[in-house]
Amino acid sequence: MTDRTAIIDTLKAQIEPFNKKGITVTEATSFQGDLEWDSLTVMDFVAAIEDEFDIIITMNMQAEIETVGQLADAVAKLKG
């Protein structure tokens, strides 16, 4: 299993508790459009991801991240 696949799997597991609509999550899934998260949900989720990977995703970075795939890229870069 590659690093990226591992990251995606972890992200999917972290998304589940917030996946109220029960949609199938892929790399193309968007947080706002598909998961329909409000700002409070995003905040809780980001905090969980930060703690999971021991990283900081600044609000400046968050503004650029729309999809699960983009988040995986950001996590891989921040972990590196």
Partner 1 sequence: MTEAGLAADTLPAEAPVVAPERDLFSKFDPLIAERAALMASGVRDPFGIVMERVLGPTTAVIKGRETILLGTYNYMGMTFDADVIAAGKAALDQFGSGTNGSRMLNGTFRDHVEAEEALKEFYGADHAMVFSTGYQANLGTISTMAARGEYVILDADSHASIYDGCKMGDAEVVRFRHNSVEDLDKRLGRLPAEPGKLVVLEGVYSMLGDIAPLKEMVAVAKKHGAMVLVDEAHSMGFFGEHGRGVYEEQGLQLGTDVDFVIGTFSKSVGTVGGFCISNHPKFEAMRFSCRPYIFTASLPPSVVATAATSIRKLMTAADKRRRLWDNARQLHGGLTALGFRLGTTAPDSAIVAVILNDQEQAVLMWQALLEAGLYVNVARPPATPAGMFLLRCSLCAEHTTEQLDRVIGMFAAAGKAVGAIG
Among 13, 43, 77, 79, binds partner 1 (CB under 8 A): 43
Tokens of 22: 């029960």
Tokens of 41: 């949900």
Residue 51: strand, helix, or coil: helix
Among 51, 52, 66, 71, binds partner 1 (CB under 8 A): 51
Task: Round to whole Å and give the CA distance between 26 and 47.
Answer: 21
Q: Per CB under 8 A, does 50 bind partner 1?
A: yes
Closest approach, Cβ 1 to partner 1, in A, equals 26
Q: Could you tell me if 56 and 50 are in contact, meaning their C-beta atoms sit under 8 angstroms apart?
A: yes
Of the candidate spans 12-20, 22-30, 46-54, 64-72, the one that interacts with partner 1 by CB under 8 A turns out to be: 46-54
Print the binding letters for residues 11-40 with partner 1: x by CB under 8 A, - otherwise: ---------------------------xxx
Residue with tokens 């400046």: 60
